[in-house]
Amino acid sequence: MNAVRSSSLARATPPAIQTAPDALHLQDVKRSFIAASGNVVQALSGVTVSVRQGEVLAFIGPSGCGKSSILRILAGLDEHYDGRVDWHSGGRDAGQTRLLSATVFQADSTLPWMTIENNIRLGLSGLKIDRSTADERVRRYLTLVGLSEFRTAYPHELSGGMRQRVAIARALAAEPLLLLMDEPLSALDAQTRIVMQQELLRIWDETRSTVVYVTHDIGEAITLADRIAVLHARPGRIKEIKPVPFPRERDVLDIRRTGAFGEMEADLWQMVAEEVGQKL
Amino acid sequence: MSVIESIGPAPGTTANVAVNQVLRAKRRQAVQQVALGVGFPLLLLAVWESCARTGVIDQRFFPSPSRIVAVAIDVVSSPTEAHLVVRDVLATLGRAVWGYMLGAVLGVIVGAVMGLYRPIRDAIAPTIYATFPTPKLAIFPLLIVIFGLGDASKTALVTFGVFFMVCINTLSGVLYANPIYRDFARAFRLPLHVQWFRVIVPSALPSIMAGLKLGIGQAFILVVSAEFVSANDGIGYYIWNSWQILDISRMFVGLLIVSMLGGAAVVLSNTVERYLIPWAKRS
């Protein structure tokens, strides 16, 4: 488990991201739920982590570890938590011409009653931007995800992978300070997933997004992330944060051929398995 | 090793032959579906016809289908009678359509507001659910007291029945629509009116549409019932009056007209549905 030392890995992380200022900081974030039985169940027991500007931070962990709870808090879908979430470098733009955060959901979240174009435009209706800016963004991000031909199509006319691209374009068009992705590829078949992973790397490279990526797929986390946060099983808290030893411009298939990929995958598997084992 | 049993296309069959087999089987099934769908009702009519002709059933009360068709042709070809029937159809449609539209609009509005705003739901829902099971016709006398013996009381009865169907379906549509749409609306901080009118209410459309379709049935039941009880025109009056003067053939003609109106309404609603919610899965 110590085969890959974090000190040697740190060197591989792009220096620009390593020294980048924090985009946001979670300080001792706790979340409890009231179960059907009336008992209070703690889902998160003090999560402290910083997300650096421009980095892709992946959260992995056994199911029920609170990955989604963290994501819902960051998405603004859950306000009943303890602790602090500090957003940095928002500037005047935040909430005006760009959203604090925008989310790509696991399930298909495109609205079937409007065209692809209008789906993306609707995501901008909370921003204070004029019509031409909105038009321009819709066009730019549709092109970025390769769907400009399907502007006027309806979601039910597209494949699952294409619909998820629409959801990605919709989130990107809001130009969020933080892009949240909740297992966005898990509903796709294995081949489409690999193509989409490469697509995501290309898109992030172009948009320089700061990303929090939740997944249960360890290989996907290594493929996409700059750092991987492993969570303890319930109640969730951070067990370890591992830097990924690949440069930002990477090829999905090439990195899979390297020994470092396999080693890291095995390490992370072991960490997650320990957590699951304790709970079984 | 010898083959004991072989399933699948016969040896030497090419893929193309197999595809053709599947296509032929599909076509056969389609033909069979239509043949049974049309043939079975025709068979029933034939049984009815022969029972009437052989005197197994009393022709005075159950005239044969051929006799009903003959009377229908008589009715349509006689100018005075045709005029009266058209008047009755228009009277019924007037009551049904106005009542339906009023009930549908009120039902969608009240159902949507209840779904979107919790305090209003808590205030109204118990009353709605408590009064829903009441047979709507039971309040017809009360409606006559309020709205008089004319069209208004019948229209109000239709409105009342349609309102419940549409309101309850709209409410459940708004409450139980896929939560992912709400999550999207909140996560993207859409303004409230955009969340309501462009996300939540459209997401309830399939359920609203189901309510609107159920409402059509309600509207016909109630308008015809009301016309049985108190009216001097309308297709319900036509049926009831024909029965009272023991003109059973004309009573059946009235039934035929009501079924045709109902059928036309269903076809219309299906067309509207296809236009409004093209993404919905249909069987």
Amino acid letter, B107: G
Across all residues in chain B, what is the average pLDDT? 90
What span, in angstroms and rounded, lies between the C-alpha atoms of B245 and B248? 8
B147 plus B268 within the same structural domain: yes
d(CA B61, CA A97): 77
Shortest Cα distance from B147 to chain A (angstroms)?
A: 41
- By C-alpha distance, the chain B residue nearest A180 is B187
* Contacts for A194 with CB less than 8 Å, ≥ 6 apart: A252, A253
- Please tell me whether residue A53 adopts helix, strand or coil conformation: coil
> CB A219: neighbour CB atoms within 10 A?
20
From the list B183, B202, B279, which residue is nearest A105 (CB)? B183
Distance CA A246, CA A248 (A): 6
Cβ of B277 under 8 Å from any chain A Cβ?
Answer: yes
Same domain, B37 and B122: no
Of B57, B76, B99, the last residue of a domain is: B57
SS3 (DSSP) at B140: helix
For residue B66, list its beta bridge partners. Answer: none
Condensed to tens digits (0 to 9), the pLDDT of residues A159-210 reads 888 999 999 999 999 988 899 999 999 888 888 888 889 988 988 888 888 9
Residues B116 and B211 in one domain: yes
Residue B283 forms part of a structural domain: no
Residue B84 and residue B20 share a domain: no
CATH classification at residue B150? 1.10.3720.10
Same-domain check for residues B155 and B94 = yes
The residue-averaged pLDDT of B179-183 equals 92
The answer to whether A194 and A163 have CB atoms below 8 angstroms apart is no
Q: Do B36 and B139 belong together in one domain?
A: no
E strand intervals along A127-266: 178-182, 211-214, 227-231, 238-243
The amino acid that residue A35 corresponds to is A
Task: For residue B228, give its domain range.
Answer: 65-276
pLDDT at A66 over 60: yes
Residue A33, pLDDT > 90, answer no
* Three-class SS state of A177: coil
- A175 chain-B contacts, CB cut-off 8 A: none
Same domain as B258, residue B194 = yes
Average pLDDT of the residues in B43-64: 91
User: How confident is the model over A7-28, as a mean pLDDT?
Assistant: 64
- ipTM above threshold 0.95: no
Regarding whether B113 and B17 lie in a shared domain, the answer is no
- Topology of domain A6-279, per CATH? Rossmann fold (3.40.50)
Distance from the Cα of B178 to chain A's closest Cα (Å) equals 9
Minimal C-alpha gap between B264 and chain A (Å):
27
Domain end call among B20, B40, B57: B57
Whether B182 and chain A come into contact, CB under 8 Å, resolves to no
Residue B182: the pLDDT is 92
**Residues B96 and B222 reside in one and the same domain:** yes
**Residues B283, B269: Cα–Cα separation, whole Å:** 16
Residues B166 and B204 in one domain: yes
At B59, the pLDDT band (50, 70, 90 cuts) reads confident
pLDDT 10s digits, A203-250: 888 888 899 999 989 999 999 999 999 988 878 888 889 999 888 888
Q: Is residue B258 part of a domain?
A: yes
Residues B151 and B257 in one domain: yes
Number of domains chain B is built from: 2
Give CA angle at B60 (B59, B65), nearest 5°: 50
Q: Is A113 on the interface with B (CB under 8 A)?
A: yes
Contact at CB, B187 and A76, closer than 8 angstroms: yes
Tokens of B206: 């399939």
Last residue of a domain, one of B37, B57, B77: B57
The full DSSP string for B16-83 is HHHHHHHHHHHHHHHHHHHHHHHHHHHHHHHHHHHHHHTTSS-TTTS--HHHHHHHHHHHHHSHHHHH
Record the tokens describing residue A216, joined without a space: 């249960």
* Rounded-to-integer distance, Cα B209 and Cα A12, Å: 57
Residues forming beta bridges with residue A102, ordered by sequence position:
A179
Q: Which of A235, A127, A232, A239 is nearest to A176 (CA)?
A: A127
Provide the 10 A C-beta neighbour count for residue B224.
Answer: 25
> Is B18 within a domain?
yes
Which tokens is A4 given?
């890959």
> Quick one: B79 exposed, middle or buried, by C-beta within 10 A (0-12, 13-18, 19+)?
exposed
> Domain ranges in chain A?
6-279
* A227-231 and A211-214 strand pairing: unpaired
Ramachandran class of A183: left when φ > 0, alpha when ψ lies in -120 to 50, beta otherwise: left
